[in-house]
Structure 1
Amino acid sequence: MRNLAEKPYVREEQREVQTVRRQIRKTFTRAEKGLLTLIGAAIVFSAILMVSNYASMYTQNQEISQLQNDISQQQQYNEGLEHQVSELSDPERILNIAEENGMELNEDNVRVLQP
């Protein structure tokens, strides 16, 4: 009698499984091609737009810098002119020039003007 706990020896055949892989070429439909073309055109357009904006910003920054330099030079020139005006309008200087030209100071005829 056989032991029921024993499994009968069954010869297992090893089967080789061959997998066949086919390369599937995916082709795009006409709508997908149109959509990809539209997306590509949008990317190129936005890139061109960004570059042109940066170029215009660069030129405007240069113009601003040049204007600021012009303003500072004009301010320095104006300060020089104000200094000359203050020197030339000094009352002592005016009195000396008047005395050199033969004028005399008469205190009775002096009028004080206020701005």
Structure 2
Amino acid sequence: MSQATQKQYVREEQKEEQRQLQTVRNRVEKRFTRGEKYLMAMIGIAIVVTAVLMVSNYASMYGLEQEISQLQSEINQQQQYNEGLEHQVSELSDPERILEIAQDNGMELNDDNVTVLDH
């Protein structure tokens, strides 16, 4: 072989090696395929949606706890009011008080007409 042929042969080999290196570089530089990117995007969206749902659930639970607390407070107030009314009923239905009011209004106690009722 002549020197010119050897040089041309060497140049062709170098060009072929450069093409192979460029091909390898292109393959290495492309990190993720389109399907992998789509899958990563879907996973990211799923994580964000899950986080939003969790925060929403915690917010609704907090609101319900506040409502339960308020209702419990109202129940306690109503129970105290009812107890006060029961006490007032027991005071007003005292037989001695009723007899006194009856006598003040001119009524008299007739033992023959008294009937005792058991509860």
TM superposition score category, shorter chain reference: 0.7 to 0.9
The 5-angstrom pairing of residues 43-58 of structure 1 reads 43-58=47-62
The 5-angstrom pairing of residues 1-115 of structure 1 reads 24-115=28-119
Normalising to structure 1: TM-score of the pair? 0.77
Deviation at 1:112, TM superposition (A): 1.3
Distance 1:85 1:25 in 2: 90
**Which structure is higher in helix share?**
2
When the two chains are superposed, the root-mean-square deviation of aligned CA atoms in Å is 1.5
Distance 1:66 1:30 in 2: 54
Runs of 4+ in 1 over 4 A off after TM superposition: none
Q: Where does the alignment leave 5 or more consecutive residues of structure 1 unmatched? A: 1-22
Deviation at 1:26, TM superposition (A): 4.7
Q: Where does the alignment leave 5 or more consecutive residues of structure 2 unmatched? A: 1-24
What is the total number of aligned residue pairs between the two structures?
94
3-state DSSP of counterpart to 2:83: helix
Normalising to structure 2: TM-score of the pair? 0.75
